Amino acid sequence: MMTTQNEKAERFRALHAREGAFILPNPWDRGSTRLLEQAGFEALATTSAGCAFSLGLRDNQVGRERMMEHVRELASATSLPISVDLENGYGDDPGIVAETLRMTAEAGAVGGSIEDASGNPQHPLYDLDHATARIRAAVEAARGLSFPFTLTARAENFLVGKPDLDDTIARLRAYQDAGADVLYAPGLRTLEQIEAVLRAVDRPINVLAGAAFDRDTLARMGVRRISVGGALTRVAYGALLRAAAEMREHGGFTFFNDAVSHGELQERFA
């Protein structure tokens, strides 16, 4: 029986309310989407970097229309809830952000994130008032949908070279007050920084995974959601680049030893 968008939305919302932390992995195409569903995950999220790299582009170079095509491709490949990395909403104006959110819902997603990075190297973060207005517009658009869209608000300080924890927390609090459902500060470097954010807000927190963190530790702290961003894409491309280097530089093919078999993939994509 086909899962409706409302059912997916309710399932996704419920994951944030239960005890413990769930991992929200980030596929980059239809194949990786299907494989992650088969692996037993309960929800998935897109990655703007993974999408861009799969198209031979740099991150932040995929326009809104092509990103919506990407969302439709992934949402149609799985019965799982999909949340979307919407970058900065594809425009500075709050009205554009609201329009982007509605388009995302129409494409089949049940969640999405809006970041406060402006894309301007001279002023990499939107002023707080403007950034908050953008989140508020996204919240209003989400509340106007026929299902409970889960909106994540992102404070990008640590990714744009401004690792100011106090400002990060001030921004997350403002986005919480604006109505965001989930809060996210990618790039936090220590458990102490994560703990400080958890103490400061009362919304579910998403944490970007890193080698220094594990799910159980983060769950005990109170983290609800863990994503991996473009890491899975980079793992896949890393294997390709190592294989290419072995062939080109040494004429070897030992990379075959780590490859999944043709037969297994045939079965998985049947």
Query: Residue 128 sits in a domain of what CATH number?
Result: 3.20.20.60
- The answer on 242 and 159 residing in a single domain is no
- The answer on 27 and 139 residing in a single domain is yes
- The answer on 143 and 40 residing in a single domain is yes
Give the Å distances, CA to CA, from 18 to 123, 148, 218.
38, 17, 14
- The answer on 264 and 167 residing in a single domain is no
pLDDT at position 212: 87
Extended beta strands in 73-222, E state:
82-85, 111-115, 150-154, 182-184, 205-208
Where residue 1 falls among pLDDT bands split at 50, 70, 90?
A: low
CA gap 183, 176 in Å, rounded? 7
- The answer on 214 and 261 residing in a single domain is no
- The answer on 251 and 225 residing in a single domain is no
pLDDT at position 183: 99
Where residue 146 falls among pLDDT bands split at 50, 70, 90?
A: very high
Q: Is the pLDDT confidence value at 223 over 90?
A: yes
CA gap 117, 264 in Å, rounded? 41
Where residue 2 falls among pLDDT bands split at 50, 70, 90?
A: confident
- The answer on 153 and 251 residing in a single domain is no
pLDDT in tens, 56-107: 999 999 999 999 999 999 999 999 999 999 999 999 999 999 999 999 999 9
pLDDT at position 3: 87
Q: Is the pLDDT confidence value at 244 over 80?
A: yes
Q: What letters, b where the CB count within 10 A reaches 16 and e where it falls short, cover 145-167? A: bebbbbbbbbbbbbbbeeeebee
Q: Is the pLDDT confidence value at 150 over 80?
A: yes
- The answer on 268 and 163 residing in a single domain is no
Q: Is the pLDDT confidence value at 240 over 70?
A: yes
- The answer on 189 and 247 residing in a single domain is no
- Considering its fold, how many domains does the chain have in total? 2
- The answer on 255 and 134 residing in a single domain is no
| Mean of pLDDT over the chain | 97
Q: Tell me, rounded to whole angstroms, the distance of Cα 204 from its chain centroid.
A: 15
- The answer on 176 and 266 residing in a single domain is no
- The answer on 253 and 130 residing in a single domain is no
Provide the percentage of residues in the chain whose pLDDT is more than 70. 100
pLDDT at position 22: 98
Q: What's the domain range around 210? A: 5-229
